[in-house]
């Protein structure tokens, strides 16, 4: 959209029309996102053809985060998931599958329920599995954003977001996490049992579900709580039947080992890659005890905020936005690829802005939320293998800024009026919530 802005001509006193461009129109946003996504795709193709992404020029698999997951799925598929708990055996298995690599992950910290996804994926060759995982999870993720904001611009912006590109490059599980968060919050108001199923599935990465019990109890969503508990129990039982109970018996040991690796390392660790308050505290040279104390204070404050928001008359879209954003901040264990899920709270916020209008400064906030991570996406890591956000906590800062924008809107805007006949039948806090 081009608008005419009038200004005073100092010579003759006439009003002269000066055209300006609104980059927030649907056409501009869609065009920008398509061009940016196309550049990402071109970059990925260049990396692939150069033999430094997915497989090398000889077709040998290149070890990545996905390589660790694919290896775990392969072990589960062959009935030997317990071998993943032995660091020496795990390293030997990975070395056999990725002979050109020399450094491997020593632990497998995911719950055995994740094998339910990884084992079928491991039935595919590495290259096919890598591409299938990326494409399928991205499609589901972008589709979820479209359900929140049914506009083409929203979908292509989600695909072009900097954290989306980072997750796609690593073939990590940020898209899956975001899809489950979005599915749960989209379903919760009308289909709480279905929402509980999504939340139960989120236990594959339980650190992102820390605040869900707070919100569900505040909202008296007992059906969702029941659905989540039953789903988690069924998934755990199914994984035990298919992959053996020993993997569950060894799971606590793997968690302890991963905790030592990621939270108790020495001062020379690159804490900037840990995108959490805990990681930021360690980056600022705080000790492990102080970092845990600071993070616990922030997590407690987030829990109080979510309780108050979900017990208030705040619009449902903003409740969903606040919970999905806070969920990414409450965990001490998150990385840049996990922050692909920020598209979910961003979508709920955008949906409310489209419905009720922008606040002063909202456009500048959106430019910052998208622009700052994009500017750092091209920063090369120490080994120059690709973009790593330079080991800076940019995604943590983005999540904090997004949550602040959501809470500001929740505090400033009055709730939408509803007629008595439109008040939901559920009792409790939602009796005063706004109509979506």
Successive 10-residue mean pLDDT values, the chain, 436 residues: 47 54 83 94 95 94 94 94 89 93 88 96 96 97 96 94 93 96 96 97 95 97 97 97 92 83 69 89 90 96 97 94 97 92 97 94 93 70 45 88 97 66 37 38
Q: What are the backbone angles phi and psi of residue 262, rounded to the nearest 5°?
A: -100, -20
Cβ contact 378:258 at 8 Å: no
pTM: predicted TM-score of the whole model, two decimal places: 0.88
CA distances from 129 to 61, 105, 120, 121, 284 (A): 11, 19, 9, 6, 39
Both structure tokens of 267: 């001062």
**Distance between CA atoms of 388 and 365, rounded to whole angstroms?**
24
Residues 6+ apart with CB under 8 A from 361: none
Give the pLDDT confidence score for residue 393 in this predicted structure: 85
- Please tell me the distance from the alpha carbon of residue 432 to that of residue 416, in angstroms, as a whole number: 10
Total Cβ atoms within 10 A of residue 49? 10
CA distance 402 to 418: 28
Tell me, rounded to whole angstroms, the distance of Cα 283 from its chain centroid. Answer: 22
Q: Could you please report the per-residue DSSP string of 20-84?
A: EE-TTSHHHHHHHHHHHHHHHHHHHHHHHHTT-BSB-TTSPBPP-HHHHHHHHHHHHHTT-GGGG
The pLDDT score that the predictor gives to residue 10 is 52
Beta bridge partners of residue 20, listed in sequence order: 3
CA 16 – CA 4 distance, rounded (Å): 9
Q: Identify the pLDDT of residue 272.
A: 79
The number of folded domains in the chain is 1
Domain assignment of residue 57, given as a range = 2-262+271-432
Report the pLDDT value the prediction gives residue 374, as an integer from 0 to 100. 83
């Amino acid at each position: 959209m081009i608008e005419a802005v009038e200004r005073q001509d100092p010579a003759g006193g006439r009003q002269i029309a000066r055209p300006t461009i609104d980059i927030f129109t649907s056409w501009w946003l869609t065009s920008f996102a398509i061009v940016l996504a196309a550049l990402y795709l071109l970059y990925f193709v260049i990396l692939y053809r150069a033999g430094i992404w997915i497989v090398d020029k000889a077709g040998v698999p290149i070890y990545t985060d996905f390589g660790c997951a694919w290896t775990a799925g392969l072990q589960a598929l062959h009935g030997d998931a317990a071998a993943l708990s032995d660091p020496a055996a795990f390293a030997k298995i990975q070395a056999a599958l990725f002979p050109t690599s020399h450094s491997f992950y020593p632990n497998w910290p995911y719950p055995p329920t994740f094998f339910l996804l990884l084992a079928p994926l491991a039935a595919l060759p590495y290259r096919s599995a890598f591409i299938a995982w990326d494409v399928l999870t991205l499609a589901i993720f972008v589709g979820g954003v479209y359900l929140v904001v049914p506009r083409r611009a929203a979908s292509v912006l989600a695909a072009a977001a900097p954290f989306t590109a980072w997750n796609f490059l690593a073939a990590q599980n940020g898209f899956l996490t975001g899809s489950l968060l979005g599915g749960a919050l989209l379903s919760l108001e009308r289909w709480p049992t279905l929402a509980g199923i999504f939340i139960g599935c989120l236990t594959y990465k339980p650190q992102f579900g820390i605040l869900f019990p707070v919100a569900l109890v505040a909202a008296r969503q007992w059906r969702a709580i029941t659905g989540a508990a039953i789903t988690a129990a069924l998934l755990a039982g199914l994984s035990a039947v298919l992959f053996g109970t020993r993997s569950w018996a060894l799971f606590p040991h793997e968690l302890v080992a991963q905790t030592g690796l990621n939270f108790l390392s020495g001062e020379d660790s690159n804490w900037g890659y840990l995108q959490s308050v805990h990681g930021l505290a360690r980056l600022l040279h705080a000790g492990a005890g102080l970092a845990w104390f600071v993070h616990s204070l922030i997590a407690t404050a987030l829990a109080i905020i979510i309780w108050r928001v979900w017990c208030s008359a705040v619009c449902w879209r903003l409740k969903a936005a606040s919970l999905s954003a806070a969920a990414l901040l409450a965990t001490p264990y998150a990385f840049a690829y996990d922050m692909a899920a920020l598209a979910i709270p961003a979508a709920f916020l955008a949906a409310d802005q489209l419905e009720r209008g922008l606040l002063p400064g909202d456009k500048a906030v959106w430019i910052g939320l998208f622009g700052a991570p994009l500017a750092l996406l091209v920063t090369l890591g120490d080994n120059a293998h690709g973009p790593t956000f330079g080991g800076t906590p940019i995604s943590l800062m983005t999540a904090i800024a997004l949550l602040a924008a959501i809470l500001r809107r929740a505090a400033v805007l009055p709730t939408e009026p509803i007629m008595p006949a439109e008040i939901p039948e559920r009792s409790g806090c939602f009796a005063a919530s706004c109509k979506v």
